[in-house]
Structure formats: C-alpha cells, structure tokens
Structure 1
Amino acid sequence: MRRKKIFGPFGAVVTASVLALGLAACGSDSGSGSSESGGSTGSSAPSSSAAPSPAGATGTGSAELPTGTPGKGKPAVIMGDKDFAEQFLLGELYAQALRARGYTINLKENIGSSEIIDKALTSGQIQMYPEYTGVIFSNKALADKGDHPKSATVTYQGAKQFEESRGYTLLNPTPFQDADGVAVTKSFAQKNGLKTIDDLSKLKSFTYAGPKENRNRYQGVLGLKQAYKLNNFTFSALPTGNQYSALDRGNVNSIAIFTTDAALASGKYTVLTDTKGIFGYQQVAPVVKQSVLKQQGPEFEQTLNAVSKLLTTDVIIALNKEVQINQKKPADIARIFLKANKLL
C-alpha cells in the first residue's frame, strides 16, 4: 500500500508513518511497558535479526506535561548532543519540547563521542545532554573496576548515583534501549555458521570495525577479548555511520552497531547474540546539572520526562529511519512527531 506523504515546514516531505507512530505513542503504550513515570517493564527489538531488548529500568520523576510557558523569563540552558544521527534526533526532541514551554535552549550539536561530550559537560561548555545509561555505568562510573551490571535497574541506579556524586543527575529513562552489538552480513553468517559472538572463534581470522573509541571500551575490543577470549581479529576504526557501507563492500567482516539502527530493518544483516552480556543495558536519560534543574523549576524536568516516555523501540526505529535512510532533517522529524503527540 502506498504511504501518503505529508509536506511539512520548509517543503520537507515526511511519510505519514511518522505521524502514525506519534499518535500511537500518545494513545497507547502497548508493547513498550511505558508508565506515567516514564519507565518501562520491557521493550521489543526491531523486526530484524536483532535480539529482543531486556527489561528496562523505570524512573521516579513526574512525566505529566506542564501547561503554559513556565520557562518564560528563565535563564538560557545549553544542551549538547553526540556525534551520530540518533543523538541529533534526541537533541531536537528534547530542545523543541522545552522551547514550546517557554524555555530558552541553545542546542550545541555533534559535539563528539561520550568521552568528548562528558568533558564539555564537566568544563561548563554545556549543562545537559542525552546519554545512554550503560555508557555512564561502564565507561565512567566503573571504568577501572571491571564491574558490569546485571540488569537495567542496576545500570540506571549506578549511573544516576555516579552523576549525582559530581553535581549532575539523570532524569527518567526512555522505554527503548539502544545497545551496542556486533553484526555481519546475512550471507557471511550463513556461510560460516555464525549465530552468536562466540561463533566468531570458528573463523581463522576476521576484521571488526567500529568507532575509534571501541578500541579501549569493554563494549568493544576489550569485551571481545576478555569475555569472549577472541584474539583472532583486527580492529578497524571507522566513523559512526560508515560501518555498514564498509561491510557491504566486503572491506570488513563484522561491525559495531546500535540495536536501533534503521539499516537493520533491511534484513541484510545478522546481529550476533551477545551470550556474555558485554553490551549491557542502554536506555537513554538526560544528564542535567542539578543547579540547572533547581533554577528552571519542576516543569523543566516534567517536560523532558514527557518526551522520554514516548520513545519506545518501534518509535525510535521509525524516527531513525526517516533520518538515516530517507535523509530527512532531524529537526523536521522531531517537530512532526512532537506535534502529533501534542508536545508542540
């Protein structure tokens, strides 16, 4: 069936499926487990070969959308986002929703990796940004302790405790989780009998490509070597977003992926099952400076929680597809989705 196209602001063409998902998110939480507190009891993975996401943590902050413009006259807030498409979407979703409530938000886009944006946060260049709970827990809070969480709740609580210890906090997490993973082409998996990451040990040698930070991350090279005892691969550093084309061309054998990548819905790839749990639990939650929350008032947090509550796995994959595959602008897709859910 042909999908109706909607002509949005500035002549942008956006498929009606985004609006449909937006309205569905507003009217029902079926399959997402979302609650009024903005958490979840579970989320489903994309309808590709990705493994289902484990149950998610729940937040305790109010997700009731405030009325009026409570942010009018409040000091400006500087928000950042990281260096890939899903982050650009998240930045726009949170920033636009806050602006609609009268808050002045200066969005600094494409700052860089988790390590770089954290330095921007702690140096005062930004005051908040959306981060993945497992990244905070494993790469920051317990980077040198070798401790890896066994549940989404432990991950969220540990990340929140760490941020609060240095003057920040985490707001409610999203229902969706965007974990890291390892993918190969479906044909390569079939040829070599690959279903799990363990199966890579069958290969005489292989190449694994991902962002340069993966060289020193447990959710990358370190985890593959320490947990899976894989020493038969070489690592190739590639910018996020370039790994699928490298895999398609045969330049590498396996790649680092995010489980909400729109490309996975094509059916061309096999995501190898993470039997050792090295990729952990990766819900998104805004990291915000505590003094900023106090200054901006409770409606600031409520608005952010209201956005997070809507972001189920199906929704974020659909939004990612519009940006990553259909080449739409993140700001336009965010605007349409927020309007459909009455946040603008």
Structure 2
Amino acid sequence: MSAPRARRRAWAGALALVCLAALTGCGGAASATGGRPTVVIGAKQFTEQWIIGEMYQQALTEAGYDVELKNNIGSTEIIDGALTSGQIDLYPEYTGVILQVLAKDAHIPHSARDTYERAKAFQEKRGLTMLEPTPFQNKNAVAVKPAFAKKHGLKTVGDLKKAGHVRFAEYPDNISGALGYTELVKKYGLTDTKVRSLNIGLQYKALDHGDVEAADVFTTDPQLARGDYTLLKDDKGFYGFQNVAPVVHKDVLEEQGPKFAATLDRIDALLTEKAVQQLNRAVDTVRLTPAEVARKFLEANGLL
C-alpha cells in the first residue's frame, strides 16, 4: 500500500469507526494484481446505487483491477464519512447533494455543469476528486395523482397550498436536512402539510390507496414511466441539479492508472435517464438482481 493511502487509512477517527460498524470487513488490503491495492467501492442503500456500484465493480474487474463492492452503506453523511476515513475509496454521488448536503451551500447553481464544477471544487479541497458526470439526473420531485392535480389545479409544488391539508410521504432519511421535507415546506410555505414517514418505494402504494396526497419521489423511479403520477414543477429550484459522478481519492487514481478512470467514464457516459429508469425497473419490477441487470447492460454495450 502506498504511503498516502496508508496514512489516510491510519487516520480513520473513532467516530467514523462507530458509525461504520455495520460495514464488516471494510477497507482495502494490498492486492497482488499488478502490485496495485484493492479498490473498495461504496454504494448507498437503494436500487439505482446498487446497479451503478455493480457496473463499476464488474467493468473494473473485467479491465484487470482488483475491486470490492460494499452496498447499503447508508445516508450521504455516513457514506461520505466512509470515504473520507478511508473505509471506501470511491462511490457514486449526486452533484447537487454534494453542494447542498455536504458543502452546505445555500446557493443553487443555474446549470448542471456549474453544479458539477462547484461540487468538484469542494471535493478537491478535501483530497478527493470527481470523474465526469452522467447524462442523467436523479432528482427528488413531488408526485401527486393526476386526478388530485386536476381537481385542485396543481402544476407547481407551491400550488399544494390550494389543496388545503396535504399528507406528504417522505422517506425517513430525508425528513430533515438540506433536501428534506422540513426545508421543502419552509421554501414553499406549505403550512398545512403533515409528513408521513415511509421507506423508499412505499410512497407509490400510499398515493394509490389515498393514504397520502403527495410524496417525495425520484425522477428515475420506474413507477413514473406508467404515467399514473403527476410531477409538480419545482419552480423555486429547491432540489437543484442531480447528475451522478464518482467521488474518488486522488491517490487512488494515481495508483490505479488512467485506464481506471477511463473505464468508469465509459460506463457513466451511457447512463441516460431512459436507460436508468429501465435498469431500475428491471430490479424493482422484473425482480432481477442488481448484479444481473448490471451484467446484461455492460455486455450489451461492449464493456464485458
């Protein structure tokens, strides 16, 4: 293991170790593959991240790298702690999340590229960097049933005030925080709204059954392709721009060589919104495993 990585791993704080206790076996050991250390890839705890993590692992393995994948690491703050403490070496993150959640930047950039550049500049100050972003964005959005939108004349998030009392489904990790329910209702003045905590994916059934009137969803959710839900326009730009880019330690890129980054860039360049929505559908609806879906996609695009 190189000196920079050895020092970085040695500096992992006690707090990070406590927070990451569930990550049994985390951390990269030296590999015999070309004398390069094993690269540990992290992923958050939802479908899209599992698929992208599998793509990174499978394509890099095919390219001759020794890699390990750690799924379900947790929220943005937890996975960022895993990265900065050296428990993982890279993970895919959303550009706006970096600015709004990690950098705590209250100013929302006016373009996706500006969001990426500012997110990258923030990471560069921490000894990290970012590879090129994906064409697709996965933004949070507010969804309602079409009949509810028509009844109350809803087109924007702010229009929810027209509907009177609104029950709002939000996943537990996003009730508070920069992109969470609490800040959303403040931004739009939604004073007659009550939150209901539901795990990711359950909000659609809640909408269908009338248990809630509005819900936080992701724009790449496969359920949205059916046309059974109306997305309200985020006219105040609360959710920002959310392309995905790998966040990685600079010394990892130096150790692994230019082909390492080039492999990840090839994958990310293929990830359009339509492609990702179908990939998510293959896991959530067709019930294939993320590993199967990733493999089929990489094979179809000549990466395996």
Matching residue of 1:230:
190
Tell me if structure 1 keeps the 8 A contact 2:222–2:277. Answer: yes
Tell me if structure 1 keeps the 8 A contact 2:170–2:181. Answer: no
- Measured against aligned partners, the alpha-carbon deviations of 1:182-240 in whole angstroms (never above 9, x if no partner) come to 00112222222222111101122111112223222332324423321111111222222
CA distance in 2, matches of 1:149, 1:223: 18
Question: Once superposed, which parts of structure 1, at least 4 consecutive aligned residues long, lie more than 4 Å away?
Answer: none
Confirm whether residue 135 of structure 1 aligns to residue 104 of structure 2: no
Matching residue of 1:51:
none
Q: 2:144 aligns with which of 180, 184, 188?
A: 184
Relative to 1, partners in 2 of residues 1:160 and 1:294: Cα closer, same or farther, differing over 3 Å? Answer: same
CA distance in 2, matches of 1:116, 1:237: 20
- Measured against aligned partners, the alpha-carbon deviations of 1:252-293 in whole angstroms (never above 9, x if no partner) come to 111111111100011111111111111110000001011111
Confirm whether residue 284 of structure 1 aligns to residue 260 of structure 2: no
Please say which of residues 311-320 and 238-247 is displaced more in the overlay: 238-247
Tell me by how many angstroms 1:123 deviates: 2.0
Please say which of residues 170-179 and 107-116 is displaced more in the overlay: 107-116
Matching residue of 2:14:
none
Tell me by how many angstroms 1:72 deviates: 4.2
Tell me by how many angstroms 1:73 deviates: 4.1
Confirm whether residue 153 of structure 1 aligns to residue 113 of structure 2: yes
CA distance in 2, matches of 1:244, 1:293: 40
CA distance in 1, matches of 2:59, 2:289: 17
CA distance in 1, matches of 2:155, 2:194: 20
Matching residue of 1:340:
300
**How many positions carry a matched residue from both structures?**
272
Tell me if structure 2 keeps the 8 A contact 1:205–1:232. Answer: yes
Q: 2:63 aligns with which of 92, 101, 118?
A: 101
Scaled by the length of structure 2, what TM-score is found? 0.86
Matching residue of 2:178:
218
Tell me if structure 1 keeps the 8 A contact 2:38–2:68. Answer: yes
Tell me by how many angstroms 1:95 deviates: 1.0
> Larger helix proportion, structure 1 or 2?
2
Q: Equivalent pairs: percent with the same residue?
A: 49
Greater RCO structure (CA 8 Å; 6+ sep): 1
Scaled by the length of structure 1, what TM-score is found? 0.76
Counterpart AA for 1:173? P
Matching residue of 2:49:
87
Q: 1:77 aligns with which of 18, 22, 39?
A: 39
Counterpart AA for 1:97? A
Structure 1, gaps ≥5 residues long: 1-70
CA distance in 1, matches of 2:204, 2:253: 39
Q: Secondary structure at the match of 1:316?
A: helix
CA distance in 1, matches of 2:85, 2:178: 26
Confirm whether residue 256 of structure 1 aligns to residue 216 of structure 2: yes
Structure 2, gaps ≥5 residues long: 1-32
Tell me if structure 2 keeps the 8 A contact 1:210–1:236. Answer: yes
